[in-house]
Amino acid sequence: MAEARPRVAIVGAGFGGLACARKLDGEPLDVVLLDQHNYHLFTPLLYQVATGLLNPSDIAYPLRTIFRHSPNVRFRQATVTRVDLASKLVRLDASPPLSYDYLVLATGSTDNYFGNQEVARVSLGLKSLEDATRLRNHVLTCLERADAEPDPEARRALLTFVVVGGGPTGVESSGALIELMEIVAGKDYHQISRAEIQVVLVEGTDRVLNAFSVRLGRYAQRVLMKRGVAVRTGALVKSANGHSVTLSDGTAIACATIIWSAGVRPSDPVGEAPLPRFRNARIEVDPWMRIPGAPGAFAIGDAASPRVGDRELPMLSPPAMQAGRYVARTIVDAVRGLQGEREPFHYVDKGTMATVGRNAGVTHLPGGLEFTGFLGWLTWLFVHIYYLIGFRNRISALGSWAWDYVRHDRPIRIILASSAAPKRV
């Protein structure tokens, strides 16, 4: 039955790929959704897993469950090794290649260390659930070690956490870290005083939250500093090793933890195909999100952008989701034989937001409306609950947030070190 239907291969089940697959649910198409993980990950809350507030399962939703009742969308957990645009094949690591009629490339992005291997080696990223649990283990292990360490220099390094990059991820991570430290220093860890702990946020430009207005950026910086984060603007990371990080102005900071949120680069399995790309390696698609010279192939999200004026679409979830739905409609129109060129993709900015921590958020709405503080935080909270997938995950996250808010707690402070791959299979 499905044999006769055109096949859509969606590579990547992030915000873009998932939105596309949902829009294609129930259409006369054979949709195969591929991802290396068996869950959709709500990446904006990774830092809350890393700081012991949420469980990994709160922000990860099994993809098979989402499409449980779908007659035409199949999920497959697989690693895509290469996409062959000319022969319309998706090559997989452990099974025969998958042919497609339509391709939606939605492979997202990974951390960008701008070629600095040493920084990459010693830094902890925050792009995957593995990253988040690894960071949680790392931070808690630093506290354990510091608690038992008599040498003041070594203690100081173990208790210094450097966050690189003052975008939303960096601001939210450093805000969450300082809150975690406030909760545990002198309490869970009797030997550690709050004064020994440093959280440093390093940002290359002259202010944090660059993508927001000057007013919102200043507000966020003020709140972070008032809560104890040392904000170093106008500073880049020049080098780093296992014991310290050196900034562009020559300052060396002894630290055991470097959290990287200074940049991402697109990640796609298209290989050597000579595609037009932006300077940051993002595929430059046409205004209809089509990959030039690749019939039936689209690319969306962090992996690709059309040229919008002289810029690109931002690497955020809303443009990815909107493009996913747009491309889905294009494919449906095509298989239904609807004629006529569609309108080019148009991104509708519905606003951006970030939280600095308890009672403090920044929200920017289109038209210039902005708010900060408690209202900004509340907006952030409800928007994130709304976009979390699954009733249970929403209840669980809301419950955790309520607990945290009332009890000033970060309850999930377990070091679960291996968790490990399957033994065989």
Q: Which of 64/307 has CB closer to its own copies?
A: 64
SS3 label, residue 20: helix
Measured CA to CA, the distance from residue 316 to residue 301 in angstroms comes to 8
Return the residue of 87, 95, 117, 339 that touches its own copies, per CB under 8 A: 95
- Half-sphere exposure at residue 420, Cβ-oriented, CA atoms within 13 angstroms: 4
- How many other C-beta atoms can be found within 10 angstroms of the C-beta atom of residue 52? 22
Task: Kindly calculate the radius of gyration of the chain based on its CA atoms and give it in whole angstroms.
Answer: 22
Return the residue of 5, 64, 82, 277 that touches its own copies, per CB under 8 A: 64
Measured CA to CA, the distance from residue 241 to residue 233 in angstroms comes to 21
Residue 408 lies near its own copies (rule: CB under 8 A): no
Please say whether the dihedral angle defined by the alpha carbons of residues 392, 398, 400 and 403, taken in this order, is positive or negative.
Answer: negative
Residue 359 lies near its own copies (rule: CB under 8 A): no
Cβ 394 to its own copies shortest distance, Å: 12
State yes or no: is 3 an active-site residue.
no
- Mark the segment that binds its own copies (CB under 8 A) among 61-69, 260-268, 284-292, 363-371: 61-69
Cβ 411 to its own copies shortest distance, Å: 5
Residue 147 lies near its own copies (rule: CB under 8 A): yes
Within residues 232-251, the interface with its own copies by CB under 8 A covers 242
Distance of CA 78 to the CA centre of its chain: 20
Cβ 358 to its own copies shortest distance, Å: 18
- Mark the segment that binds its own copies (CB under 8 A) among 82-90, 182-190, 206-214, 379-387: 182-190
Torsion of CA 392, 397, 401, 407, to 10 degrees: 70
Count Cβ atoms within 10 A of the Cβ of residue 40 and give its class: 0-12 exposed, 13-18 middle, 19 or more buried. Answer: buried
Q: How many residues does the chain have?
A: 425
Residue ranges binding its own copies (CB under 8 A): 37-39, 55-57, 60, 62, 64-65, 68, 74, 76-78, 95, 122, 124, 129-130, 133-134, 137-138, 140-142, 144-145, 147-148, 158, 184, 187-190, 242, 256, 390, 392, 395-396, 399, 403, 409, 411-425
Catalytic residues: 172
